[in-house]
C-alpha cells in the first residue's frame, strides 16, 4: 500500500522531536497502520539550522505555504505555534483537502470553531492531541475512553513550566526568574513565557478540555485566568505547614449554575496523588459518573513526549482518512449539531474554599473584627493560625482557611477587612480545593 505522505511545518523542539520519532519508529508504526508514514516535505524558518532531515529525500523549504500547497502531501502537521500565520496556513491546508495535525492549543482554543467547521465542510480531519498536556493522551481518554460517562469535573496541572517553577521554588528555594530561564533552555516554555506564568497557556488547554468534557463550544474568552507570578515562597511554606501544596490548576466543573472554567493557583491537600505531581510533569484528574475518578499523568512538554502525541494523531488520521466522514470520531467528541450553549459561570459565582493571609496589629479585638466580617458575609472559617510578630515588629501574620463559599462573598469581606486600620496592606487570597 502507498505510504501516507506527511508535510511538516516547523522543525523546532516539537517538530524536530516528531521527525526523530517518525524516523526511529517507522517500522513499528507501519506495523500498526498497515502502511508507512513518510515525511515528504518540511519547512522551517532557518532550514540550514536543522540536521535531522539531512541526507534524506525530504523536500526542505523555508516557506510553510509550500508544504500546504504541495500536491504530494496528504497530512499537514502544524508545529509553528501561535495564532498567525498558523491559522491561515491550517485553513489553506483544509481548503486544499489535506488533513491537519496540530500541537497548537492557542489556535484550537481561539479559532477551533472556525477551523473545525471548515474541516467538516471539506471532509478532512483536524487532530490536536498534542495541544493539551503534551504526551498524555488526555483528549483521546475524554473523547473516546470516557464516552459512556457524564463528566462532572476535571482538575489538571496542564502547564509544565509553571509546575516546574512552583516545584523548584518549594524544594530548592530557587528564584522564580532563574527557574523560568532553565525551563526556556529546556524547550518547555512558550515563545512568550508570560503565556506560561500568567496562566494563558493553561487557559487555552482548559478551554479545550471543557468543550470535550461537556459538549460546549470553545470559549477561551470566558475562561477565568490567573497565573503564578504573585505566589511567594512564604505562602508555599505556610501551605506546606498546613498540609497543602500550591499547584497551578485548570478546573472545569458542571454546576447547577452552569459550567465553571477557571485556571489559577490552588491549595490542594498534600495527600492527593495530583498534589505530588512535580517538575515539568502534568496530570489531569477527571471525575465522571460511571467510572468515578481517573487520573492521567505524564510529561506535559518537551520534544519527544509532545512528538508522541503528534505521531499518535498521525496514526489515527492515517487509519481514518479513507473512512466515511460519518464514521469518524467528532472533532470535539460531541456531534457538532449537539454542542450545547450551556451558561458559563462568572467568577463572582464560583464556589470554592479559600486560604487567606494578612498582616494584623497584635492587640485584643483584631481577630474578632476579622471573623465578624467573615460571618456577616456568610463565610465559615475552618482553621486559623497566628504567627507571632518577628523580633522588633508589631504586626502578626494571620492565616485562615474557609469552608466552601461563593466568591462574591469573599470579595465583599476582603474589601472590608482591608479597610480596617488594624490590617496592613492587601490580604493574600488563594483558592483551595479538596478534590475529593
Ligand atoms: N509551555 C507549555 C508548558 C508547553 O510548559 O506546559 C506544552 O504545552
What are the tens digits of pLDDT across the range 55-99? 788 999 999 999 999 999 999 999 999 999 999 999 999 999 999
List 99's β-bridge partners, or say none.
75
Q: 403 is written with which cell numbers?
A: 469552608
Q: What is each CA distance from 81 to 77, 116, 243, 315, in whole angstroms?
A: 11, 17, 39, 21
283 within 8 A of 160, measured Cβ to Cβ = no
Tell me: is residue 18 an annotated ligand-binding position.
no
Pocket (CB within 6 angstroms of ligand 1)? 134, 159-161, 188-190, 196, 201, 300-301
343 within 8 A of 258, measured Cβ to Cβ = yes
Q: 428 is written with which cell numbers?
A: 493574600
Q: Which of 165, 162, 143 is nearest to 154 (CA)?
A: 143
Pairing of strands 244-255, 281-288: unpaired
Query: In angstroms, what is the span from residue 152 Cα to ligand 1's centroid?
Result: 26
344 within 8 A of 141, measured Cβ to Cβ = no
Q: Which of 98, 205, 247, 254 is catalytic?
A: 205
Question: What angle is formed at CA 425 by the lines to CA 422 and CA 426, rounded to 5 degrees?
Answer: 115
What pLDDT is attached to residue 342? Answer: 97
Name the average pLDDT for the chain: 95
Q: 110 is written with which cell numbers?
A: 481561539
Query: In angstroms, what is the span from residue 400 Cα to ligand 1's centroid?
Result: 33
2 pLDDT above the threshold of 80: yes
Q: What percent of the chain has pLDDT over 90?
A: 88
Residue ranges of the alpha helices (H) in 25-98? 26-33, 64-68, 86-95
Query: Probe ligand 1: pick from 102, 188, 205, max atoms within 8 Å of CB?
Result: 188
CA dist., res. 37 & res. 213, Å (int): 31
Domain extents for the chain?
4-134+303-338, 138-298, 350-432
Architecture per CATH, domain 138-298, reads as 2-Layer Sandwich (3.30)
Around 33, how many Cα atoms within 13 Å sit in the side-chain half-sphere? 27
What pLDDT is attached to residue 187? Answer: 85
398 pLDDT above the threshold of 80: yes
Tell me: is residue 14 an annotated ligand-binding position.
yes
Q: Which option is the CATH number for 350-432: 3.30.430.20, 3.40.50.720, 3.30.70.260, 3.30.1330.10? A: 3.30.70.260
* Burial (CB count <10 Å: 0-12, 13-18, 19+), residue 436: exposed
Structural Rg of the chain based on CA atoms: 24
Kindly give the interhelix angle for 86-95 and 105-122, rounded to the nearest 10 degrees: 20
Give 153's pLDDT tier (boundaries 50, 70, 90).
Answer: very high
Known catalytic residue at 140: no
Architecture per CATH, domain 4-134+303-338, reads as 3-Layer(aba) Sandwich (3.40)
Q: Please provide the size of the chain in residues.
A: 436
The pLDDT tens digits of the residues spanning 88-127 come to 999 999 999 999 999 999 999 999 999 999 999 999 999 9
67: how many CB neighbours lie within 10 A of its CB? 26
List 37's β-bridge partners, or say none.
4
Amino acid at each position: 500500500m502507498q505510504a501516507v505522505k506527511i508535510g511538516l511545518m516547523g522543525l523546532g523542539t516539537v517538530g524536530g522531536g516528531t521527525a526523530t520519532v517518525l524516523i526511529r519508529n517507522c517500522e513499528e508504526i507501519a506495523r500498526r497502520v498497515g502502511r508507512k508514514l513518510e515525511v515528504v516535505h518540511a519547512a522551517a524558518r532557518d532550514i540550514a539550522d536543522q540536521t535531522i532531515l539531512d541526507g534524506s529525500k525530504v523536500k526542505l523549504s523555508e516557506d510553510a505555504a509550500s508544504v500546504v500547497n504541495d500536491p504530494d502531501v496528504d497530512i499537514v502537521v502544524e508545529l509553528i505555534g501561535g495564532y498567525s500565520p498558523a491559522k491561515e496556513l491550517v485553513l489553506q491546508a483544509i481548503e486544499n483537502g489535506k488533513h491537519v495535525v496540530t500541537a497548537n492549543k492557542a489556535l484550537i482554543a481561539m479559532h477551533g470553531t472556525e477551523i473545525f467547521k471548515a474541516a467538516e465542510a471539506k471532509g478532512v480531519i483536524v487532530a490536536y492531541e498534542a495541544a493539551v498536556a503534551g504526551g498524555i493522551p488526555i483528549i483521546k481518554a475524554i473523547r473516546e475512553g470516557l464516552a459512556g460517562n457524564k463528566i462532572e469535573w476535571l482538575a489538571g496541572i496542564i502547564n509544565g513550566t509553571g509546575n516546574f517553577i512552583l516545584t523548584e521554588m518549594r524544594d530548592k528555594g530557587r528564584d522564580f526568574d532563574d527557574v523560568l530561564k532553565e525551563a526556556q533552555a529546556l524547550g518547555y516554555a512558550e515563545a512568550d513565557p508570560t503565556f506560561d506564568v500568567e496562566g494563558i497557556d493553561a487557559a487555552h488547554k482548559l478551554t479545550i478540555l471543557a468543550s470535550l468534557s461537556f459538549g460546549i463550544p470553545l470559549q477561551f474568552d470566558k475562561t477565568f485566568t490567573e497565573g503564578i507570578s504573585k505566589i511567594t515562597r512564604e505562602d508555599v511554606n505556610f501551605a506546606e505547614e498546613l498540609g497543602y501544596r500550591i499547584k497551578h490548576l485548570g478546573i472545569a466543573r458542571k454546576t447547577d449554575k452552569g459550567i465553571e472554567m477557571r485556571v489559577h493557583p490552588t491549595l490542594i491537600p498534600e495527600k492527593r496523588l495530583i498534589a505530588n505531581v512535580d517538575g515539568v510533569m502534568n496530570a489531569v484528574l477527571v471525575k465522571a459518573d460511571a467510572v468515578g475518578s481517573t487520573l492521567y499523568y505524564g510529561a506535559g512538554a518537551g520534544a519527544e513526549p509532545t512528538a508522541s502525541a503528534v505521531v499518535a494523531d498521525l496514526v489515527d488520521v492515517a487509519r481514518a482518512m479513507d473512512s466515511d466522514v460519518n464514521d469518524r470520531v467528532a472533532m470535539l467528541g460531541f456531534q457538532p449539531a449537539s454542542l450545547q450553549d450551556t451558561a458559563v459561570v462568572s467568577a463572582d459565582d464560583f464556589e470554592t474554599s479559600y486560604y487567606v493571609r494578612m498582616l494584623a496589629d497584635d492587640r485584643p479585638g483584631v481577630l474578632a473584627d476579622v471573623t465578624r466580617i467573615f460571618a456577616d458575609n456568610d463565610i465559615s472559617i475552618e482553621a486559623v493560625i497566628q504567627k507571632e510578630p518577628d523580633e522588633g515588629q508589631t504586626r502578626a501574620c494571620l492565616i485562615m482557611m474557609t469552608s466552601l463559599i461563593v466568591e462574591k462573598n469573599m470579595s465583599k469581606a476582603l474589601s472590608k477587612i482591608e479597610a480596617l486600620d488594624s490590617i496592613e496592606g492587601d490580604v493574600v487570597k488563594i483558592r483551595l480545593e479538596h478534590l475529593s
